[in-house]
Amino acid sequence: MLCRRAPPAPAMALQPISLLSLVLAWGCVASSSLWHTAVAPPQDLQITDPGLLGSLDIEWKPPPNIQTSNGCTVKYKCEYRNAGDREWKVIFTRKLKLRVGFDLSRTAEVKVQTLLKGWCTNDVEVQSEWLYATFRVPLQGKLESEVQNFHCIYHDWEYLKCTWQPGLLAPRGVNYGLYYWYEGLEHTVQCDHYIQDHGVNMGCMLQNLSQAEYKDLSICVNGSVAATLLRPLYATLRLHNLAKPSPPQQLVVSMSAAEELRVVWSPPGGQTPPQCLEYESVSTQVETAFTISRANRSRVSCVRVRGRTNNFCADEGFWSEWTQECFSVSRKEVKQLFILIPVILGLSSSLLIFTLIGQCKKKSPAGKPSHTLVGC
Ligand SMILES: *[C@@H]1O[C@H](CO)[C@@H](O)[C@H](O)[C@H]1NC(C)=O
Ligand SMILES: *[C@@H]1O[C@H](CO)[C@@H](O)[C@H](O)[C@H]1NC(C)=O
Ligand SMILES: *[C@@H]1O[C@H](CO)[C@@H](O)[C@H](O)[C@H]1NC(C)=O
């Protein structure tokens, strides 16, 4: 009984184990044959300059032998930055071509990887190795020949005024040109309204740029002189961050019924969107009015207000000049005092008379009426 029973026990125990391992083995074979766990990077990454002063074209080819079967998608993750930047900018795309903005005075760095996901990867995202490329416009001229102190202000959202100074290495007879481009223009455009100093272009006024608002505006200031090459300056501007409004208008200070000072003004003229403005007076605010309490009234004799683009519309901007209104509450109070003093004096003297009369009347029944009357 015991001998017969003993052998089947290990056999019974082995059976489920071997079944399990069989299932596991099959699973491994199945997953390795049906599900991709690796994918190759894209090929042939190219960066080219279409001559738009900052935008570069990035192109690549799909990885070799890529299966784009049903329910399985191939995407690409492209990261790019200028050499020296800490952060990479990221774009996910199914396309094989991108156009992105760089600062052309620095090296452009780009990397792309393949992303595979779907039925073919058991819905797990599979990433390839990165493919890298860099680009740099041919360096021309010495660094010291680049224009200096270049800056721009977008006045009233109406016109852009950019100014610069000659580079340290500015050969005799040099002249400068400003070129610009933004998405929507077919090609670069040269400034048609230069600001000159002794016949040399030292600035430029650009009008009609509303199509360039909230976009990258690429600018290049280069120089030409007979034989010397000058280093071009590249800049990418965002107009809404360079806006400077005119000062607020119609600043009026008035006294309310509760004897508080009410300060009210209007947004500046020009094309600045009124909802994009904030003001600074006593504090920063988006409203176009405030009140100075009665208690604080005497401490204020002038009110000034200035405006700038608020952070609902831009990351930064320039303050307008101040609008100022001075008034003379104190003098009004002095006048009121002058009026009050005679009244108070009059009142008090008549009060004195009345009290004295009262005292005289009180005293008169007690005797010596003639004396007290003289005293009154
Ligand atoms: C302003 O630019 C638009 C295109 O952005 C153009 O159609 C229009 O003629 C320009 N206006 C002036 C006054 O230059
Ligand atoms: C300045 O840049 C513009 C735009 O890229 C170009 O057309 C022009 O030839 C350049 N001039 C010089 C002197 O480099
Ligand atoms: C009045 O002035 C004081 C001190 O300058 C300030 O703390 C207070 O907020 C002001 N009150 C009002 C109503 O402006």
Tokens matching residue 264: 């009210």
The predicted-structure confidence for 259-270, as pLDDT tens digits, reads as follows 888 889 999 988
**DSSP-assigned letters across all residues of 117-131:** EEGGGTT--EE---E
- Rounded CA-CA distance 242/153 in Å is 5
Is the same domain home to 218 and 150? Answer: yes
Using a 10 angstrom Cβ sphere, with 0-12 exposed, 13-18 middle and 19 or more buried, the burial of residue 13 is: exposed
* pLDDT value for 259: 80
Pocket test for ligand 1, best of 208, 209, 215 (most atoms within 8 A of CB): 208
Mean of the pLDDT values across residues 76-99? Answer: 96
Q: Is residue 352 a part of any domain in this protein?
A: no
Query: Higher-confidence residue: 357 or 58?
Result: 58
Q: Name which residue sits closest to atom 3 of ligand 1, judged by CA.
A: 208
Q: Is residue 353 part of a domain?
A: no
Q: What is the pLDDT of residue 28?
A: 41
Is residue 372 domain-resident? no
Distance from the CA of 178 to the center of ligand 2, in angstroms? 9
Identify the band that residue 33 occupies on the pLDDT scale cut at 50, 70 and 90: low
Residue 219 shares a structural domain with residue 251: no
**Given 188, 219, 243, which residue is the final one in a domain?**
243
Q: For residues 84 and 155, state if they share a domain.
A: no
Q: Under 8 Å CB-to-CB from 213, ≥6 apart: which residues? A: 157, 239, 240
Helix, coil or strand: residue 268 = coil
Domain hosting residue 54, numbered range? 43-135
User: In angstroms, rounded to a whole number, what is the distance separating the alpha carbons of residues 336 and 136?
Assistant: 76
User: How far is 238 from 39, CA to CA, in rounded Å?
Assistant: 39
Structural domain contains residue 80: yes
194 and 163 in one domain? yes
Among the bound ligands, name the one nearest to the CA of residue 141: 2
If one compares 123 and 180, the residue with the highest pLDDT of the two is 180
Q: Which of 99, 119, 135 is at the close of a domain? A: 135
Q: What pLDDT, on the 0 to 100 scale, is given for residue 376?
A: 33
- 182/3: higher pLDDT: 182
**Contact (Cβ atoms closer than 8 angstroms) between residue 176 and residue 223:** yes
Q: Which ligand has the shortest distance to the CA of 221?
A: 2
Same domain, 269 and 254: yes
Structure tokens at 350: 């008549």
Same domain, residue pair 200 and 233: yes
- Statement to judge: residues 230 and 254 lie in one domain: no
pLDDT-derived band at 301, boundaries 50, 70, 90 = confident
Question: Which residue among 219, 243, 267 closes a domain?
Answer: 243
Q: What share of the chain is helix, strand, coil (3-state, %, to 5)?
A: 25, 40, 35
Domain with residue 200: its CATH number is: 2.60.40.10
Number of domains in the chain: 3
Whether 160 and 118 share a structural domain: no
Question: Residue 253 above 60 pLDDT?
Answer: yes
pLDDT bracket for residue 67 (50, 70, 90):
low
Contact 195, 163 (CB under 8 A): yes
Q: How confident is the model at residue 131 (pLDDT cuts 50, 70, 90)?
A: very high
Distance between CA 246 and CA 261 in Å, rounded?
25
